[in-house]
């Protein structure tokens, strides 16, 4: 499938500081020779010839509080002793990770090299003692995903061994019967580029986050129409995608953010009480925590033999745009989108970030994570 250059980003984020010049050169040449085959927001090499001025900042964000997104993982390809961050993902339960389909099959680094989940980290170059590194045993992209930019860009990954939940490693909530709606804060966490230049993006080692705004489908479709080539079909799909901005530029997902979760802080009361993942009560309760501060309540939860401090009153002032309308104690982080694709350079004016709408594919997710 061919795509206009303005819509292409391709995959590789070399995060290890132990990579020798020989292997750096080898991987660089492999990426340059293959990069035009991929789309999605994964790549260290952005094949875009437009000389637009890059914008600084996941783009436009800031460093996240350490472990404030404990459901977020780094999917990393393994080559000898080197690990390479290729995509983000979100923990669904002890055995399953949610990410994008192009993160499962499109990159040569993913298709042909072993893939690991790295959980419980803030810095991709310095894991720390809280990290868990677990091998991926199975990758299940949506069976209708055809590659490149388009619908069905969603996948689940099973781990070889169980993820052990701790204060720093937690599952995220699925939307199930909840359909995306505006009015609640949207956050995008990830290790994607802060800005892009002609050849190399500015890649952070520490986790970044940014608040994003929802762009209605019609406005998003019109924005993509202006950016694509005249002979290309607009790949946006009303049911399959969610768009964020703002279209004024300066805030966007970028290289290295692919597969990561778009998080909406949703009142617990409107989520489906019959969540398909086992131990649903523990999952929702475990969403209330503060990994850096003392808990403000005395509630404790036991998960996998580890005591979790449960904090239910100070999720953060930025989890609600209208504190008078929402009670922060009732809000839980819910993965409502998966980073799918965008426009290079990242954060340019008029260019939205496109996500796979998780609620559209909830049956695919629930069916597969029940299989084991």
Structural domains of the chain, with CATH: 5-264+335-369 (2.40.10.10)
Tell me whether residue 258 is one of the annotated catalytic residues. yes
- Which pLDDT does position 345 carry in this prediction? 80
Tell me whether residue 322 is one of the annotated catalytic residues. no
Active-site residue identified among 6, 15, 68, 258: 258
Residue 199 preceded by cis peptide, ω within 30: no
Note the pLDDT tens digit of each residue in 118-166: 999 999 888 999 999 999 999 999 999 998 888 999 999 999 999 999 9
- Residue 320 CA to residue 328 CA, distance in Å, equals 7
Active-site residue identified among 116, 153, 257, 309: 153
Tell me whether residue 62 is one of the annotated catalytic residues. no
Note the pLDDT tens digit of each residue in 345-369: 888 889 999 999 999 999 999 999 9
Strand-strand pairing, 132-141 and 115-119: antiparallel
- Which pLDDT does position 334 carry in this prediction? 95
- Residue 179 CA to residue 268 CA, distance in Å, equals 14
Q: Output 291-297 pairs: Cβ under 8 A, ≥24 positions apart.
A: 291/65, 291/66, 291/67, 291/68, 291/70, 291/167, 291/168, 292/65, 292/66, 292/67, 292/68
Neighbours of 7 (CB within 10 A): 22
Active-site residue identified among 102, 122, 142, 214: 102
Looking at the DSSP bridge assignments, the partners of residue 244 are 214, 353
With 60 as the cut, is the pLDDT of residue 108 above it?
yes
Residue 316 preceded by cis peptide, ω within 30: no
Q: What is the pTM of this model?
A: 0.74
pLDDT band of residue 199 (cuts 50, 70, 90) is low
Given CA atoms 290, 294, 298, 303 in this order, what sign does their dihedral have? positive
């Amino acid at each position: 499938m061919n795509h206009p250059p303005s819509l292409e980003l391709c995959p590789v984020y070399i995060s290890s500081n132990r990579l020798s010049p020989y292997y750096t050169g080898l991987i660089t040449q492999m990426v340059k020779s293959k990069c035009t085959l991929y789309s999605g927001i994964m790549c260290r090499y952005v094949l875009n010839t437009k000389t637009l001025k890059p914008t600084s900042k996941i783009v436009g964000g800031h460093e996240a509080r350490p472990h404030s997104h404990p459901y977020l993982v780094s999917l990393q390809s393994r080559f000898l002793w080197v690990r390479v961050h290729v995509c983000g993902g979100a923990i669904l339960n002890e055995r399953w990770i949610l990410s994008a389909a192009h993160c499962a099959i499109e990159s040569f680094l993913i298709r042909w090299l072993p893939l690991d989940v790295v959980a419980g980290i803030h810095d991709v170059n310095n894991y720390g003692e809280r990290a868990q590194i677990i091998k991926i045993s199975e990758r299940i992209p949506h069976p209708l995903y055809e590659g490149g930019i388009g619908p069905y860009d969603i996948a689940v990954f099973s781990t070889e061994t169980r993820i052990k939940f701790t204060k720093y490693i937690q599952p995220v909530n699925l939307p199930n019967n909840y359909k995306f709606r505006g009015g609640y804060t949207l956050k995008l966490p990830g290790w994607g580029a802060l800005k892009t230049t002609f050849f190399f993006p500015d890649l952070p080692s520490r986790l970044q986050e940014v608040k994003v705004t929802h762009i209605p489908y019609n406005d998003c479709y019109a924005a993509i129409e202006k950016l694509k080539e005249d002979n290309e079909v607009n790949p946006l799909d009303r049911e399959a995608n969610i768009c964020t901005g703002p279209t004024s530029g300066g805030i966007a997902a970028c290289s290295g953010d692919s597969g990561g979760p778009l998080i909406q802080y949703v009142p617990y009361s409107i989520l489906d009480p019959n969540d398909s993942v086992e131990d649903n009560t523990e999952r929702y309760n475990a969403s209330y925590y503060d990994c850096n501060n003392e808990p403000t309540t005395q509630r404790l939860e036991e998960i996998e033999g580890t005591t979790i401090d449960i904090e239910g009153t100070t999720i953060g002032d930025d989890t609600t745009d209208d504190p008078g309308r929402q009670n922060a104690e009732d809000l839980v982080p819910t993965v409502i989108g998966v980073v799918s694709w965008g426009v290079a350079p990242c954060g340019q004016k008029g260019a939205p970030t496109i996500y796979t709408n998780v609620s559209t594919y909830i049956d695919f997710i629930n069916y597969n994570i029940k299989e084991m």
